[in-house]
Structure 1
Amino acid sequence: MPIEEMKIQDAFRITPSPLSDNRGRFFEAWRIGELTELTGQPFTVRQVNFSVSRRNTLRGIHGTMLPPGQAKLVTCVRGAALDVVVDLRVGSPTFGMFDTTLQEADSGIGVYLADGLGHAFLALTEDTCMNYLCSEEYVPGTMVDIQALDPEIGIPWNGSEPYIRSEKDAAAPSLSQAVALGLLPTYQEAVASYGDSYANRPAR
């Protein structure tokens, strides 16, 4: 079960190693001990969400204010999606950068993103279902929305426009506008929320 840090600091890609036989396949999706050791952050699941999307649906970019924050472990459990993590932490070494992961249900690949990071995805198949394990319960009014089509970020969605989007996502501010409005968490706030073990995580 290799876990690798992505281009975004504090985002990790988990790639299970399936075992196959005449019945089908089995794999471990993740282990709390290994994930905590690598991220330096204990991950306690306090809420589980599912989204079901039509093909060409674009959701995000969504983040959470600090506090309360909300780390996530996201997997595709049906269909396929282009999954994207964006660093929304002002002052972070990777602020404004993104990384992509092709998530297909058969692969079992998961993406972990820490407090302060943003998440978005494009559904590549009909009836795409995404599973979100969340470290905190959702608090109304604390979601951060950023424009997924912001040219400043420059995510290559490569889908068929116009995308299927919510009105809220379509009207979301650009990254620069969010900075000017003071909507984004800072890197210092995010690191402070990670706990003492973060400073002692393995060097990369």
Structure 2
Amino acid sequence: MIIERTKLKDCLIIKPRIFKDDRGSFMETFRLNILEEVLEQEINFVQDNQSTSYYGSIRGLHFQIGEKSQAKLVRVVKGEVLDVVVDLRPDSPTFKQKFSYLLNDENNHQLFVPKGCAHGFSCLSEEVIFAYKCDTYYDKNAERGIYFADKDLNIDWQIPEKDRIISEKDASNPSLSEFLEEI
């Protein structure tokens, strides 16, 4: 595995080595000791999730707060997404900054999203199967979101407005500044 740092503190791109032959391919998708060595902290993933989405879907920006805050290791099993991370950690040198990256079933890259960051993605292919590990169990009471089209974040989701599919819940999330006023 090759691990690269992004512009956001502790947000990592993980590039697996892919071995191909006449039978197909093989790759190691997760190796705890290497991830912990790079992060210089212990990681204990406790929950795996998977979603299916269709072109134009935008999911996010999601996160959990307090003791239920989650670190995530995300990847695309099928299709392509624009993956977006926003740093919501007031003590971080990259507070309120965003990072986006293309994840797909060709590059098989993964993104490590640290605790305290909002996460979302837009579906750029006809169908997407998206999988991720979390280091804390989902807790509805700790769940929060930031409005995906927040003007201050100015995220280019690479989906024309007319093609966007947004859940009612995501469409009603507060702006970043509204969320920060609450904390």
2:38 alignment partner, SS class: helix
Partner of 1:128: 128
Amino acid in the other structure paired with 2:96: G
Partner of 1:167: 168
Q: Write the mapping of 1:111-122 to structure 2, written as runs, cut at 5 A.
A: 111-122=111-122
1:141 alignment partner, SS class: helix
Q: Please report the TM-score for the alignment, with normalisation by the length of structure 1.
A: 0.86
Partner of 2:88: 88
Deviation of the 1:52 alpha carbon: 0.7
Amino acid in the other structure paired with 2:26: F
Q: Write the mapping of 1:12-51 to structure 2, written as runs, cut at 5 A.
A: 12-51=12-51
Q: Please report the TM-score for the alignment, with normalisation by the length of structure 2.
A: 0.95
Give distance in 2, aligned partners of 1:132 and 1:16. 15
Give distance in 2, aligned partners of 1:30 and 1:77. 14
Deviation of the 1:110 alpha carbon: 0.5
Partner of 2:110: 110
After superposition, give the CA deviation of every residue in 1:130-186 in whole Å (9 maximum; x if it has no partner). Answer: 10101111112111200111121111212121310111111111111101122xxxx
State the Cα RMSD in Å: 1.1
After superposition, give the CA deviation of every residue in 1:97-152 in whole Å (9 maximum; x if it has no partner). Answer: 11111111132110011110111100011220110101111112111200111121
2:61 alignment partner, SS class: strand
Partner of 2:137: 137
Q: Which runs of 5+ in 1 are unaligned?
A: 183-204
Q: Which runs of 5+ in 2 are unaligned?
A: none
Kindly, what percent of the aligned residue pairs are identical? 36
Deviation of the 1:96 alpha carbon: 1.1
Checking the alignment, whether the CA contact within 8 Å between 2:13 and 2:111 is kept in structure 1 is yes
1:67 alignment partner, SS class: helix
Checking the alignment, whether the CA contact within 8 Å between 1:14 and 1:30 is kept in structure 2 is no
Give distance in 2, aligned partners of 1:134 and 1:85. 15
Give distance in 2, aligned partners of 1:39 and 1:128. 29
Runs of at least 4 residues off by over 6 Å: none
Checking the alignment, whether the CA contact within 8 Å between 2:82 and 2:158 is kept in structure 1 is no
Deviation of the 1:41 alpha carbon: 2.3
Give distance in 1, aligned partners of 2:66 and 2:108. 30
